[in-house]
Amino acid sequence: MTVYKVPQQELQFVLEHLVNYSKLCTLPGFEESGQDMVAAILPEAAKFFEQVVAPTNWASNTQPAYLESDRVMTSPALDGVYQQMVEAGWCSLSGATKYGGAGFPGVIDAVVQEMLQSANVGFSLLPTLTRGVIRALNSYGSEQQKDQYLEKLISGVWSGTMNLTESQAGSDLSAVKTKAIPADDHYLISGQKIYITWGDHEQAENIIHLVLARLPDAPEGNEGISLFLVPKYTLNDDGSIGSQNDVKAVGVEHKLGIHSSPTCTLAFGDNGGAIGYLVGPKNQGLMCMFSMMNHARLAVGHQGVSLSERAYQQAVEYASQRVQGTVQGIEGRAPIIHHPDVVRMLAQMRALTEGGRAISLYAMTAEDRSTHHQEQQTRELCAQRVEIMTPLVKGWCTEMAMETTSLGVQVHGGMGFIEETGAAQHMRDARILPIYEGTNGIQALDFIGRKCLRDKGSGLQQLITEMTQTVDDCDIESKSIKTLLDNLINTIDQCQLALEHILQAPHKTSFVAYQFMMLFGNSIAYWQLVILACAAQRKIQAGDTDQFLRQKIATTQFYSAQILPRNHMHLEAIISDVKFVDDLNFETH
């Protein structure tokens, strides 16, 4: 197992040339988060996650969480680590200063979260879900709820969870049966929720559950679901922790991956009802919860990037040391990193990882601008861009994580199939990413439906126009850059054709939604990589000789030549006749 090293130069380059952080940090509310401050904290964050968290990854994988009576016991390897992270302030970077947060832009928090996720993705889910609770309370909580809960949640002293799924419901939340009965100034919650990430543990002083449930007079379906705040421990009048609420873990799942994360079945109200408080309007729980879910979907996409980075680093390390066969130009037996097919696999892992990082941080930056930019028109445009990008980041980046982590196993050869090398862990951990927070099939339907057909393609057309503007802006005298731009023009044409076809044939969208999502994911990732390649070429022409810059361009060239051709397949699948679907039969005989 390789030692994880934060790709600091890559992250800094993206912040400078894609995020345009020098301008972002001048927006209202971000003035104290300037470039000098970021330059100071990122190396410290890198040191913490490399030295403190990354060494827990394998141990917490082999010693997973388990249930002992009513208590969830987490891996001994994690003992004290979360507390160190809280004390160092890494949980509160993007929190509102009003409640004790540092007030950094979300994109900086995402960069630091990437370090945590690469270091130990299962452990990283603990603060990730808390951020979602913070977001929901910020948007829909009462002032009293904000005053009672936000400071402790932002600091990380308390953690949070999201409770949607029930055994009979799955992704169909209209079937939720958990009940909420009015009782004085609160509600009594009863029911059972499954697949609750970090649903119970001893790492934080309190756990704040956000729970979907139905009031007695609620209508059927999605329109009758409300959102409730249910603390593990109730609060005394002075805000201190009181008695344990009527909620407990009754099971911890045995999973394919993310073993360091306790995935719990939670029982509410076995002894009369768990005390809960309404968040937002009655029967509008899904609207409130989606403020949490959409952010979680962006976070899951970036988890895919983080796992890809860890798998890539391990594959490079192994390939550099594993000696096998001969290669022309190298005396004696050669490390396999010189074998052409291994070069291909490593380049593919790096290109997909860097493409995923680019579109993820692009979306996070748009989110920051949507809430902090001075001009309302820009805020609205950026909010629309975040809406469009969310299913792409979640869907495309997690699909690519499956590909990169599988390639990581392949680079190791037979040793990749052996658990002790650690390569298989990354692939197992990545397998949940296309499933949770809405399967990638749901993301594809959301992208082609709500984000395309609903506005007759207007938002996507604006994105295509912006991609075209990049071609006009990159007036660089360079043969390699011109080739990249020519391929970007071709990519834009493919996106345009796909969009026009779908608008003319909306009846087939459900069947080709995945292909549509993947075509746009491939294309937007390439667009972002071209922007970075142009920035690298400008620095080279200005006299910078850093090999990193040539690597950025070469990686984009590889993506252009070896990954972008997939768009031909996706486009053909989109415009193909799908009448055969009616004749498909999957009954067993």
Question: Has residue 546 got a pLDDT over 80?
Answer: yes
pLDDT of residue 318: 97
Give SS3 for 544: coil
Q: Across the chain, which distance is largest between two alpha carbons, in Å?
A: 82
Q: Where are the domains of the chain?
A: 55-88+120-283, 444-578
Count CA within 13 A, CB hemisphere, residue 32: 9
Residues paired with 161 in a beta bridge: 209
Output the six-digit token pair for 198.
């970090």
What is the average pLDDT across 526-536?
Answer: 98
**Considering the chain, what percentage of its residues have pLDDT values greater than 70?**
99
Say how far apart CA 558 and CA 562 lie, in whole Å.
6
What are the distances in angstroms from CA 552 to CA 108, 375, 521, 533? Answer: 21, 34, 19, 6
- Crossing angle of helices 376-412 and 285-321, in 10° steps, is 40
pLDDT of residue 584: 86
> Strands 186-197 and 179-183, how do they pair?
antiparallel
pLDDT digits (tens, 9 = 90+) for 437-489: 999 999 999 999 999 999 999 999 999 999 999 999 988 999 999 999 999 99
Say how far apart CA 231 and CA 135 lie, in whole Å.
17
Residue type, 104: F
pLDDT digits (tens, 9 = 90+) for 173-199: 667 889 999 998 999 999 999 999 999
* CATH tag for 55-88+120-283 (out of 1.10.10.200, 3.40.50.740, 3.40.50.720, 2.40.110.20): 2.40.110.20
Question: Has residue 589 got a pLDDT over 70?
Answer: no
pLDDT, averaged across the chain: 95
Number of H helices and number of E strands within the chain?
Answer: 18, 12
Q: Which residues contact 402 (CB under 8 A, 6 or more apart)?
A: 427, 430, 431, 433, 434
DSSP character string of 1-24: -PPP---HHHHHHHHHHTS-HHHH
> Strands 247-252 and 241-244, how do they pair?
unpaired
Residues 359/389, Cβ–Cβ less than 8 Å: yes
Output the six-digit token pair for 70.
């009513």
Question: Has residue 1 got a pLDDT over 80?
Answer: no
pLDDT digits (tens, 9 = 90+) for 67-88: 998 899 999 999 999 999 999 9
pLDDT of residue 176: 85
Question: Has residue 121 got a pLDDT over 70?
Answer: yes
pLDDT of residue 170: 60
pLDDT of residue 169: 67
Q: Find, among 528, 518, 552, 526, the residue nearest to 538 by Cα.
A: 552
Eight-state DSSP code of residue 51: I
Residue given tokens 């861009």 in the structure block:
385
Range picked from 406-410, 473-477, 509-513, 581-585 for highest mean pLDDT: 406-410
Query: Where does the pLDDT of residue 290 fall: very low under 50, low under 70, confident under 90, or very high at 90 and above?
Result: confident
Residue type, 240: S
Query: Where does the pLDDT of residue 328 fall: very low under 50, low under 70, confident under 90, or very high at 90 and above?
Result: confident
CA torsion sign, 54 to 59 to 65 to 69? negative
Query: Where does the pLDDT of residue 171 fall: very low under 50, low under 70, confident under 90, or very high at 90 and above?
Result: low
pTM of model > 0.85: yes
Residues 398/433, Cβ–Cβ less than 8 Å: yes
Q: Find, among 535, 584, 581, 530, the residue nearest to 557 by Cα.
A: 530
Say how far apart CA 499 and CA 311 lie, in whole Å.
34
pLDDT digits (tens, 9 = 90+) for 363-389: 999 999 999 999 999 999 999 999 999
pLDDT of residue 551: 97
pLDDT of residue 294: 84
Output the six-digit token pair for 424.
């298989």
- Residues with catalytic roles: 437
